């Protein structure tokens, strides 16, 4: 299975590309936005493709052609304003969903935010609410497609070493999770068709990632 990782140069993205490359039968196409980021992925044996999420839908569709699954783990990050939140976390995400449809790629895994309900938009501090709104509508766009989607809602991401142990359910207590374990949960979702059509929250826990995802 060839997987397009959107946001491959990000912190979760890099863990994910490595895990994909280390898994037999899986291969990563790493979507990055700068040519100078390509050598890292070539060294892993992955196929880099340089496309900016602010680019045209056609450019994103072209990058999506020939893969079997798309994972969206890009994000505008905390150091830009609501303008980039709109253009990357919402419009960028929607363009990749539409690209998957146009390219005939059925499988799509979205890395969302922990809580993207309407209530969460209302309750978020004003500095955070545009991001929650962007994620809310990107998730909603995906749910309204006929893609084989999975929406993963991770808790607060940390750079701690992965433990391989998580808690996963439709609703879990808010908590932290190492980025490496998020990457493992994405991989487990890609490998287990039972996650198609499901969405769930994940935080650090006490079940192996494989079992936590299998038991959803
Ligand atoms: P990250 O390290 O900030 O990585 C984001 C990636 O998106 C970067 O590689 C960045 O590219 C890429 N990107 C930004 N703008 C782009 C554009 N215009 N075109 C193409 N790529 C672009 O993110 P992370 O910490 O791994 O988070 C992964 C996901 O989890 C994100 O979707 C985030 O919203 C979500 N999330 C975060 C938290 C949290 O606690 N932080 C919690 C739940 C969910 P460059 O490398 O070139 O900058």
Note if the pTM is more than 0.75.
yes
Paired with 154 in beta bridges are 202
Mean per-residue pLDDT of the chain: 98
Angle at 120 between CA 127 and CA 114, to 5 degrees: 90
Whether the Cβ atoms of residue 34 and residue 155 lie closer than 8 Å to each other: no
55 pLDDT band (50/70/90 cuts)? very high
Return the beta strands (E) in the chain as ranges.
Answer: 2-6, 27-32, 47-50, 69-72, 107-111, 148-154, 156-158, 165-169, 176-178, 198-204, 207-208
Determine the distance separating the centroid of ligand 1 and the alpha carbon of 77, expressed in angstroms: 6
Asked whether 10 lines ligand 1 (CB < 6 A), one says yes
Model pLDDT, residue 172: 98
Report percent pLDDT > 90 for the chain.
100
Nearest residue by C-alpha to atom 1 in ligand 1: 10
Model pLDDT, residue 87: 98
Asked whether 179 lines ligand 1 (CB < 6 A), one says yes
Nearest residue by C-alpha to atom 36 in ligand 1: 113
Model pLDDT, residue 133: 98
Model pLDDT, residue 9: 98
201 pLDDT band (50/70/90 cuts)? very high
Tokens of 66: 């020939």
Asked whether 48 lines ligand 1 (CB < 6 A), one says no
Asked whether 164 lines ligand 1 (CB < 6 A), one says no
213 pLDDT band (50/70/90 cuts)? very high
Pocket test for ligand 1, best of 71, 75, 110, 176 (most atoms within 8 A of CB): 75
CA–CA distance, 163 with 52 (Å, rounded to integer): 33
Asked whether 5 lines ligand 1 (CB < 6 A), one says no
Residue-range domains of the chain with CATH: 2-214 (3.40.50.720)
- Per-residue pLDDT tens for 141-186? 999 999 999 999 999 999 999 999 999 999 999 999 999 999 999 9
**Nearest ligand 1 atom, CA 154:** 43
CA–CA distance, 36 with 102 (Å, rounded to integer): 29
Model pLDDT, residue 174: 97
Model pLDDT, residue 168: 98
- Per-residue pLDDT tens for 98-142? 999 999 999 999 999 999 999 999 999 999 999 999 999 999 999
Tokens of 198: 């499901």
47 pLDDT band (50/70/90 cuts)? very high
Catalytic residues: 131
């Amino acid at each position: 299975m060839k997987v397009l990782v959107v946001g491959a140069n990000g912190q979760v993205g890099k863990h994910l590309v490595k895990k994909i490359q280390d898994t037999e039968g899986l291969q990563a196409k790493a979507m990055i936005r700068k040519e100078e980021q390509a050598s890292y992925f070539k060294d892993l044996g992955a196929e880099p493709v340089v496309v900016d999420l602010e680019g045209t839908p056609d450019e994103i569709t072209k990058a999506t052609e020939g893969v079997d699954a798309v994972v969206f783990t890009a994000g505008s990050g905390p150091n830009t304003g609501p303008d980039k939140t709109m253009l990357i976390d919402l419009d960028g995400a929607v363009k990749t969903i539409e690209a998957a449809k146009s390219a005939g790629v059925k499988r799509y895994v979205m890395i969302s935010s922990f809580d993207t309900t309407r209530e969460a938009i209302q309750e978020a501090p004003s500095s955070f609410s545009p991001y929650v709104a962007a994620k809310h509508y990107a998730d909603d766009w995906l749910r309204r497609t006929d893609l084989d989607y999975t929406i993963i809602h991770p808790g607060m991401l940390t750079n701690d070493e992965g433990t391989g142990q998580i808690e996963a359910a439709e609703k879990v207590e808010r908590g932290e999770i190492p980025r490496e374990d998020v990457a493992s949960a994405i991989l487990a979702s890609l490998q287990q068709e039972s996650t198609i059509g499901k969405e769930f929250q994940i935080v650090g826990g006490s079940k192996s990632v494989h079992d936590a995802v299998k038991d959803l």
